[in-house]
Amino acid sequence: MNPPFDHRHLDELMAGAGLDALLVTSKHNVQYLLGGHRFFFFDYMDAIGVSRYLPVLVYVRGDLDATRYVGNAMESWQLDNDPVWVSDLDTSTWRAQDAIGVGLAHLRRVLPGQAVVGIEGSFLPVEAYQRLAVEPSVTLRDGQFVLERLRAVKRLDELKLLEEASEAIVASMRAAFGTHGAGSTKREIVQTLRQEQTRLGMTFEYCLVSMGASHNRAPSEASWAPGEVLCLDSGGNLGGYIGDLARMAVLGEPDAELEDLLAEVDAIQRAARGPIADGVVGQAIFDRATAVLAASPHREVITFVAHGMGLISHEAPRLTSTGPVPYPNYDGPRALAAGMVLSVETTMLHPRRGFIKLEDTVIVTPDGHRAFGDHLRGWNVVDLSPTPV
């Protein structure tokens, strides 16, 4: 079987970073390199006994045959049913230190002598790191950056999952808006959203929900009153890929002020989306958005951000170092590439009318861009009738 990723590109990235091998330990990067495999038993949690599940994939630059996957002692059931391209499998471990030990022993067999090995520091437990740190012939360096660059441009199968996830998020929001009204609580609305996403085959991850004049975005017993706005900003997972969009509703017809406020947010969104295309420098997105934002009468309470997304939220391309999630602005001065996926979001924290936001998922194409789940972007008007009991 051939690997599902561009292994020559990975080898080039590793060579550029001076890495001889990778010890991959995050569930999302293991899934990517194995072509979708994610052990169902630990899909939700990792802790078991006195340790935790730790998948380990050993990848040696330029030597596909040296790849080995170390999984849990029960994982062979899933691998028997759904084989992966890696033929060298070890499903004997339970504890993190044992899994990393098996991976390290294999690495030393196929790559004897001194080796520079990339690790995922944010996804490596202390007990596993301590085992690696005492190995005298291994020099540890960051491997997360290389793996993120490998995932930056999505394959067609990945884009399909992201499109389906985005459509399901919007469909779930439509159902939540359509089945709730006066007196519904934030908690009840989120529960409906969760149920709808699950019904559509997704794994519900979160919903940031705000209502009325409050900017609080956590579920609560706060109830919806006539004239109040509702913002649903939800992430759901389909096959490991994240759909993440934000849409607005109002209980009763929106007044002129609300129409104007959402129009301001939408104008910034559309300006930001305008320049997105293959070969366009990432900073152009922010330049366009900032120009429209600067002319807004509510510019002091509006924020804009755009970021990459895929297997995780906020991945390559990294387009800003001043957004809510901190990381270096690596891609701002670089050209976008067809197949990159962006989340574009504008938020207004109005002091009287509340939290008003749109978040869109935009895909870079060879001749421009297109958006996934690009529905319900105006005011979704909810009838004033009380929610049926």
pLDDT for the residue numbered 192? 98
User: Mean of the per-residue pLDDT values for the chain?
Assistant: 96
Cα gap 64→357, rounded to integer Å: 46
Least confident range from 153-157, 352-356, 382-386: namely 382-386
Q: In sequence order, what are the residues at sequence separation of 6 or more whose Cβ sits closer than 8 angstroms to the Cβ of residue 210?
A: 216, 217, 229, 230, 231, 354, 355
Query: Are the CB atoms for 344 and 140 separated by under 8 Å?
Result: no
pLDDT band for 9, please (50, 70, 90 cuts). very high
pTM score: 0.94
Query: Comparing C-alpha atoms, which of 350, 376, 374, 161 is closest to residue 273?
Result: 374
pLDDT, mean of residues 77-100: 97
What does the block give as tokens for 185? 């609580």
What does the block give as tokens for 268? 């910034």
Q: Which residue has the tokens 């009763």?
A: 252
pLDDT for the residue numbered 384? 73
- DSSP letter at 220 equals -
Collapsing DSSP to helix, strand or coil, 198 comes out as helix
* Dihedral angle computed from the Cα positions of residues 235, 237, 241 and 245, in that order, rounded to the nearest 10 degrees: -20
